[in-house]
Amino acid sequence: MRTIYRWIRRGMTALFTLAVAAGILYFFYFTITSIVDEVEFRREETRRDSVRDDTATAIAPTIESESALLAGDTVLTITQPTEQGDAANISAVTEVATESAAIVESTATHTIEITATSSNTATFTAEPSVTDTVAPTSTPSPTRTAVPPSSTPRPTDSPTVVAQNPTAFPTNTPPATAFPTNTPYPSDTPTPTNTFTPTLTYTPSITPSPTFTFTSSPTPRPTLIIEGTYATPVATTFLEIPPRAELVEDDPNIVNIAMLGTDVTGGQTDVIIIVTINKETGTAAMWHLPRDLLVYIPGNQIDRINRVWQIGQQNGWPGGGWGLLKEMFIYNFGLEIDHYAKVSFDDFKAIIEELGGLTISVDCSLRDWRLIDPETPLDIATGDDWENYWEVYTMPIGVQTLDPYMALWYARSRVTTNDLDRGRRQMDILRAMWQQARSEGIFTQVATLWPRALEIIETDMSLEDILSFVPLAINLNPGSIERYSLSIGVHIENYTTPDDGRSTLLPNWPAIREVAKEFVTPPTGNRLQYQSSRIEIFDGTQYGLGWDQVAADRLAWEGFTPILQESQNVAKHEVTLIYDYTGEEKGSEIERLQEILRIGESQVIVEPDPNRQYDYRVVVGQNYNSCVYGSSSDDVPPPPPQEVSG
């Protein structure tokens, strides 16, 4: 019995092995045949394009210069031949000749001869004198039509034939791919190869004096500059579509990650921050893109950048919203995005909850409405008695520890600021989360925490991808993180759409693409020099609000690496002071420090010290204010706030 079972197991093992081997062989066979079929398809497509172009070029000039005119009213439209090959070309010319000969005056007789030879010219020969007036256009038309003549002859012996000019064929555009290639517009004068030469002989009994007038109605070409393999817009755009950007980097050591935050509905990505990590140099950078920025959405039209994900999901783009977002960044910014991480507002609060709150340096005071009780349902808080649930709150400058609700409030508020300032705060939050996770040793627990992270964060990254970033996350210097954003009047302009009156941001693409290049470029020499400067910071306010930490974080964004010192015994300072121990006039960072901290010459004390331990000392005073963006208004509008997207 055991022998029987043993043979059965061996037989099953053999069958399984054969099935696996057959599957592998079929996979390779399928892959190879698919590649071969694709190559053959592209060759056949190229050959057909060549035949169509050659045939169109061969027929068009001859019709313009030698077409015989018939008595009667004729409207003749000759456009592109079909893709049926040479036989279709002969048929097309024969049909034109036959239809033309059928247009006969009541007093005229006609003789038609059609012959075909193997030369490359379609020739129509008529005995009457012909005068040609040609006004060609280059508007492509994919079909060929001949309009029959009117059944009622004109009361004249001088018939007029009006024909539309032949036009060149557009080349085929292959489907969209992840890495599009440029498809140039077709040439109006392709080089002919092999076509046929039909000959038409027309002999009327009466010799009229026909006039051949070749006219066209000029159709303005839309200004849609579309390169690569992207489809044309589904609707007319209100702006000219920009040309496709050149790739700004192709370095395997550079990883670009899209950090996305969705609105209440989960459709629009109202928070878009790109994080680039350079594994070779051990540096990182963040770039906030405002949600109202107008971009070209491949296969669609120009729209706000926060709608790209939603359109990709709704239109069935390959890869959904993520696939279309990647294509959009390649086309508009020349930036290849490798991964994404997406959270909703509730997900964000869950992350802050896991961190035990968020400790962050607030360098600009913020004033906005907030719920008195964050647990109050929104439908109740926005009712007729809304004033019982809301209060105006001002968050002061200093180090703040925020609960999940207040962290989201800080990330979203823009009542007294703008979307660009909000993006700056959102990048501050990302850096604060990284610093807090590092100080609490969370990066060493990634493998354990990963299942919980996947419950909160939607991402295409695997645990192996995350683990590859852990060494850099642990050792990264805060001064090695750069921050980028767009500026009104330089990179963008306020713009109201002409179709529906939306408030958007009009891009200056040359300037934006320069930022994209700088974004993925390793730190400049000046920034590396800033990192080597030794700066100590003291708190001279005696407020105990952490203003020294705020100043240190502000300097870190600019590439400096400041060191906080114990400030208990520091005397009160009404103004902020900088002590310069270098005494250098050239190559010194003192001017940059003054610019960042908004320090005048009278607040700089030069005390050269060749035995110095630090190059500079900053004592933060009670007048400290290095806010990057000031509030746009000191007053908060009276209506209750609404939970709108953003």
CA pair distance 593, 181, nearest whole angstrom: 46
Q: Which residue has the tokens 């001859």?
A: 62
Say if CB 245 and CB 513 are below 8 A apart: yes
Output the six-digit token pair for 204: 């009327």
Q: Residue 39 has what pLDDT?
A: 67
Contacts of 236 (CB under 8 A, 6+ apart): 222, 301
For CATH 3.30.70.2390, the residue range(s) in the chain are 527-620
Please say if the pLDDT value at position 94 is more than 70: no
Judged by DSSP in three states, 537 sits in: strand
CA pair distance 37, 414, nearest whole angstrom: 56
Q: Which CATH fold topology does 527-620 show?
A: Alpha-Beta Plaits (3.30.70)
Max Cα–Cα distance, the chain, nearest Å = 120
CA pair distance 244, 324, nearest whole angstrom: 15
pLDDT digits (tens, 9 = 90+) for 99-114: 444 443 433 434 444 4
From 461-465, 502-506, 639-643, the region with the lowest mean pLDDT: 639-643
In this structure, the strands spanning 160-164 and 74-77 are parallel
Say if CB 216 and CB 131 are below 8 A apart: no
CATH code that applies to domain 254-344+457-522: 3.30.420.590
555 pLDDT band, cuts 50/70/90, is very high
Q: Residue 346 has what pLDDT?
A: 92
CA pair distance 105, 203, nearest whole angstrom: 13
Please say if the pLDDT value at position 245 is more than 90: yes
Say if CB 88 and CB 95 are below 8 A apart: no
Q: Which residue has the tokens 């053999």?
A: 14
Burial class (CB in 10 A: 0-12, 13-18, 19+), 417: buried
Going by the DSSP 8-state scheme, the letter that residue 387 receives in this structure is G
Q: For residue 198, which phi and psi values (nearest 5 degrees)?
A: -75, 145
Q: Residue 45 has what pLDDT?
A: 66
Burial class (CB in 10 A: 0-12, 13-18, 19+), 242: buried
- pTM for the whole structure: 0.64
pLDDT digits (tens, 9 = 90+) for 399-435: 999 999 999 999 999 888 889 999 999 999 999 999 9
- The tally of CA atoms less than 13 A away on the side-chain side of residue 42 is 8
pLDDT digits (tens, 9 = 90+) for 44-54: 667 666 655 55
Q: Residue 74 has what pLDDT?
A: 39
For CATH 3.30.420.590, the residue range(s) in the chain are 254-344+457-522
